[in-house]
């Protein structure tokens, strides 16, 4: 089998799994409605078709069976129950495994019978399906007609004309269905105008299934229309119903079926390597563009008034503008909306809360926020851990909640958005929050801190203990969490992308964790600084505040702890690091400096530098090929890359994470 085909199948299958899961979970919480079940049916149908094409018979068979059930639901002959959704989800999981194994060329067979038996054994299905005929004629004009289409069809009605939906069922083994349906349209065309057919977008030779619909505008009465077609052989059932305006109201938001389809068609798949390459070229361009601008400035000053120079200058501005547009466009192609990460959580929470006997309402907000792919990858694990923690440690059991005067159902809210050049993602629950006393006890028991340290700790410091490696507040290790690795991973991942973590803990009322993340990793907003002769850039996201210290204020503002400079900043005592010490750049320790309060995930320090040059957008060029033990540049501690400035020189990207780590370790050693 052709690799491209295979890969296309895997990708499609993954998308379909996600769509199906979303629909199912949606149905589970809101009940069956027209469009959703139509989509669900369509997705399952596609999945069946493509797995059959890949010759994965067991999967096709299972999909077929589920499709049958969904077909009944779509035709409103059946209500989907929670049990059935469970079984379908289980079937979906099996299919996921099947596809994953297929990808690895490993054998795996779905136990189709077990799942179909389970599904069929669900009580509601048996009850309703025995009563098929009675429920059969429910109104579902939405089946193949969107709200928009419906209203435009109704608007097109002339005097005396009516709109009809004609449902046809062909005998299951009808050969040449396309030809049969052509006969139908041919006859109906004599009865009126055909507005739409359910198969009009399908090539005649690809027409499959037994049920079809025609939307017809006609002056004839119902009976007459029925008479025109029921004489065609192999039509087993016909049902003509009138479509009326105003009835069967569906909220406007759900009219998206046809729109969705259009959008799907205008999407192409591009290998991410091609986008990365494009991104690199654009980065190159943006560096040269900055240089061009600076040179242009010099040239304009030298040849003021020269006509050509003036137009060259205008052209330079134009190129600068286009370059920025180009950069933004290319960056946007690498952006994903967060829902591709968020959409896995409803299922996870549903499963976890069932397992733990908790009742949880999960709310999502801002899932359309866009994020760079590389950052997206880094936040999946942290979010996973955080949500598991919320379910496991945060939300209490329904009984416990009632006892504390809370509603039985807990709420977990995941929200995201963009503000001031960064992305925030926040997870909030109304559970029991973090018990700081217990956190301290655990930390002491685990030997992470001493009794004395615990006593002198601020609330914030105590809260930060949960980020220490090997810390876990849960007494028992549950399947969900409690292995003591979670929050440590969260912190490391967020630090790796220069993000920050903020916590808002209210014991007994809940916990909110907010992550601040950069928009992209390659191009960053930075603060350009100088210490002696070296220029550095700091990710602006890590800069909390800038404090200027004048010579006259030095003695008042700067204190010493064990001969080390510290400053009091908003109630926190922060160590002061001299840029000149860090990089052996020499220069005296002046009493006047610019202090940059740097924050990363949870810790803060003050970096003292001689000069703050300004803000700049920079493209980071990694140096990691040349750094490390035995490499030409050595370990290059404290530097994570380099950027080319407008004047063609380099500045270095300060590795805030490494700096903070060093300080923290030194501090710890000194405490011992």
Partner 1 sequence: MEDINQFVIFKVGTEEYAVPILKVNEIIRLKGIRITEVPNTKKYVVGIMNLRGEVIPIMDLRMKFRMPKKKMDDDTRIMIVNIQDGSIGFLVDSVSEVARIPSGDIIDPPEEVSDVDSKYITKIAKYDDRVFIILDVDMVVSDKPGEPDEMKSGKGEGDIG
Name the site residues for partner 1 (rule: CB under 8 A). 284, 287-288, 532-534, 582-586, 621, 623, 625-626, 629-639, 642, 644, 648-650, 652
- Give min distance, CB of 37 to partner 1, in A: 54
Choice between 174 and 627, CB closer to partner 1: 627
Shortest Å, Cβ 471 to partner 1: 33
Q: What is the smallest separation between the CB atom of 36 and partner 1, expressed in angstroms?
A: 51
Task: Return the number of the residue (225 or 654) whose C-beta is nearest partner 1.
Answer: 654
User: Minimum Å distance from CB 524 to partner 1?
Assistant: 17
Residue closer to partner 1, measured from CB, 548 or 637: 637
What's the rounded Cα separation, in Å, for the pair 63 and 67? 6
Element (H or E) spanning 605, and its range?
A: strand 603-609
628, 635 Cβ separation under 8 angstroms:
yes
Give 470 or 586: the residue with its C-beta nearer to partner 1: 586
Distance (Å) of CA 337 to CA 343, 368, 524: 11, 5, 20
Please say whether the beta carbons of 499 and 601 come within 8 A.
yes
Residue 292 φ/ψ, nearest 5 degrees: -55, -45
For residue 451, count CB atoms less than 10 angstroms from its CB and return exposed for 0-12, middle for 13-18, buried for 19 or more. exposed
Reference 360, options 406, 403, 404, 405; nearest CA is 406
Q: State phi, psi for 18 to the nearest 5 degrees.
A: -65, -45
Question: Residue 35 or residue 610: which is nearer to partner 1 going by CB?
Answer: 610
CA distances from 379 to 497, 511, 523 (A): 9, 19, 19
Whichever of 86 and 283 has its CB closer to partner 1, that residue is 283
| Beta strands, E only, 580-645 | 593-600, 603-609, 611-619, 639-644
Burial 60-77 (b: 16+ CB within 10 A, else e): bbbbbbbbebbbbbbbbb
* Contact call for residues 319 and 289 (beta carbons, < 8 A): yes
**In the bound complex, what is the minimum distance in angstroms from residue 286's beta carbon to partner 1?**
11
User: Minimum Å distance from CB 583 to partner 1?
Assistant: 4
Q: Which is nearer to partner 1, 304 or 629 (CB)?
A: 629
Q: Which of 485, 384, 474 is nearest to 434 (CA)?
A: 474
Give the integer Cα–Cα distance in Å for 256 and 332.
Answer: 24
Name the minimum Å distance from CB 631 to partner 1: 6
| 157/521 with CB nearer partner 1 | 521
Please identify, using beta-carbon distances, which residue of 90 and 585 lies nearer to partner 1. Answer: 585
For partner 1, the closer CB: 467 or 534: 534
Tell me how far apart the alpha carbons of residues 467 and 449 are, in angstroms, rounded to a whole number. Answer: 13
Closer to partner 1 by Cβ: residue 270 or 633:
633
Query: What is d(CA 176, CA 186) in angstroms, rounded to the nearest whole number?
Result: 16
CB of 648 to partner 1, least distance (A): 6
| 606, 593 contact by CB (below 8 A) | no
Minimal distance, residue 535 CB to partner 1, in Å: 8
Q: Locate tokens 């908790």: which residue? A: 358
Closest approach of partner 1 to the CB of residue 584, in Å:
5
- Residue pair 630/575 in contact by the 8 Å Cβ criterion: no
Smallest gap from Cβ 341 to partner 1, in A, equals 33
Determine the Cα–Cα distance for residues 379 and 507; give it in Å rounded to an integer.
26
Among 559, 546, 554, 545, CA closest to 589 = 554
Q: How many whole angstroms separate alpha carbon 253 and alpha carbon 415?
A: 21
Say how far apart CA 218 and CA 225 lie, in whole Å.
9
CB of 456 to partner 1, least distance (A): 35
Q: How far is the CB of 298 from partner 1 (least distance, A)?
A: 16
Question: Considering beta carbons, is residue 295 or 512 the nearer one to partner 1?
Answer: 295
| Residue-wise DSSP of 212-258 | EEEEEEESS-HHHHHHHHTTSTTEEEEEEEEE-SSSS---GGGTTHH
Alpha-carbon radius of gyration of the chain? 32
Give the integer Cα–Cα distance in Å for 493 and 354: 29
Q: How far is the CB of 579 from partner 1 (least distance, A)?
A: 10
Distance between CA atoms of 483 and 475, rounded to whole angstroms?
Answer: 10
DSSP state, residue 621: B
Which of residues 202 and 627 has its CB atom nearest to partner 1 in the complex? 627
Nearer to partner 1, 469 or 634 (CB): 634
Tell me if 527 sits within 8 A of 540, measured CB to CB.
Answer: yes
Residue 220 or 659: the one with the smaller Cβ distance to partner 1 is 659
- Dist. CA 118–CA 25, nearest whole Å: 19
Task: Kindly state the smallest distance separating residue 531's Cβ from partner 1, in Å.
Answer: 9
């Amino acid at each position: 089998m052709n690799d491209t085909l295979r890969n296309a199948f895997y990708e499609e299958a993954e998308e379909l799994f996600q769509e199906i899961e979303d629909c199912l979970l949606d149905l589970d919480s809101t009940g069956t409605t027209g469009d959703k079940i139509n989509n669900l049916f369509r997705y399952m149908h596609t999945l069946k078709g493509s797995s059959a094409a890949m010759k994965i018979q067991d999967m096709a068979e299972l999909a077929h069976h589920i499709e049958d059930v969904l077909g009944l639901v779509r035709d409103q002959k059946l209500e989907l129950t929670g049990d059935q959704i469970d079984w379908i989800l289980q079937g979906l999981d099996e299919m996921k495994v099947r596809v994953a194994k297929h990808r690895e060329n490993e054998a795996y067979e779905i136990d189709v019978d077990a799942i179909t038996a389970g599904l069929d054994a669900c009580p509601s299905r048996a009850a309703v399906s025995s009563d098929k005929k009675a429920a059969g004629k429910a109104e579902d004009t939405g089946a193949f007609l969107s709200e928009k289409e419906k209203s435009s069809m109704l608007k097109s009605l002339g005097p005396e004309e009516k709109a009809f939906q004609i449902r046809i069922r062909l005998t299951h083994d009808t050969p040449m269905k396309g030809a049969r349906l052509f006969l139908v349209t041919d006859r109906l065309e004599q009865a009126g105008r055909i507005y739409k057919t359910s198969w009009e977008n399908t090539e005649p030779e690809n027409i499959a299934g037994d049920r079809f619909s025609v939307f017809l505008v006609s002056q004839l009465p119902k009976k007459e229309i029925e008479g025109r077609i029921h004489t065609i052989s192999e039509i087993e059932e016909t049902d003509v119903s009138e479509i009326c305006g105003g009835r069967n109201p569906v909220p406007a938001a759900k009219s998206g079926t046809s729109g969705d389809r259009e959008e799907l068609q205008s999407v192409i798949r591009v290998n991410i390597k091609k986008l990365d390459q494009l991104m690199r070229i654009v980065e190159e361009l943006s560096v040269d563009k900055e240089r061009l601008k600076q040179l242009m400035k010099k040239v304009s000053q030298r040849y003021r008034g020269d006509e050509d120079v003036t137009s060259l200058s205008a052209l330079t501005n134009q190129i600068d503008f286009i370059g920025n547009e180009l950069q933004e466009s290319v960056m946007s192609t690498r952006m994903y909306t967060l829902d591709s990460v968020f959409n896995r959580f409803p299922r996870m929470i549903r499963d976890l809360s069932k397992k733990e006997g908790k009742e949880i309402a999960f709310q999502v907000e801002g899932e359309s926020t866009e994020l760079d792919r590389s950052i997206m990858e880094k936040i999946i694990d942290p979010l996973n851990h955080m949500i598991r923690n919320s379910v496991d440690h945060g939300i209490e059991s329904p009984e416990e909640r009632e006892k504390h005067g809370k509603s039985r159902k807990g709420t977990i809210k995941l929200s995201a958005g963009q503000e001031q050049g960064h992305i925030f993602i926040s997870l909030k629950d109304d559970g029991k929050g973090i018990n700081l006393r217990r956190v301290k006890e655990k930390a002491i028991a685990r030997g992470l801190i001493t009794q004395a340290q615990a006593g002198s700790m601020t609330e914030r410091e105590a809260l930060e203990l949960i980020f220490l490696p090997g810390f876990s507040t849960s007494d028992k290790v549950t399947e969900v969490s409690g292995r003591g690795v979670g929050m440590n991973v969260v912190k490391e991942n967020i630090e790796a992308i220069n993000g920050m973590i903020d916590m808002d803990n209210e014991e007994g009322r809940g916990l909110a964790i907010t992550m601040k993340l950069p928009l992209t990793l390659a191009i960053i907003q930075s603060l350009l600084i100088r210490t002696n002769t070296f220029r550095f850039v700091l990710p602006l996201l890590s800069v909390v505040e800038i404090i200027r210290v004048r010579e006259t204020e030095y003695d008042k503002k700067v204190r010493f702890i064990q001969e080390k400079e510290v400053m009091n900043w908003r109630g926190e005592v922060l160590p002061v690091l001299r840029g000149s010490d860090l990089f052996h750049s020499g220069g005296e320790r002046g009493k006047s400096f610019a202090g940059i309060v740097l924050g990363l995930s949870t810790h803060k320090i003050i970096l003292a530098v001689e000069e703050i040059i300004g803000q700049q957008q920079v493209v980071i060029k990694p140096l990691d090929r040349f750094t490390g033990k035995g490499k030409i540049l050595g370990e290059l501690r404290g530097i994570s890359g380099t950027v080319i400035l407008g004047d063609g020189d380099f500045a270095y990207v300060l590795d805030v994470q490494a700096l903070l780590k060093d300080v923290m370790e030194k501090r710890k050693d000194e405490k011992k």
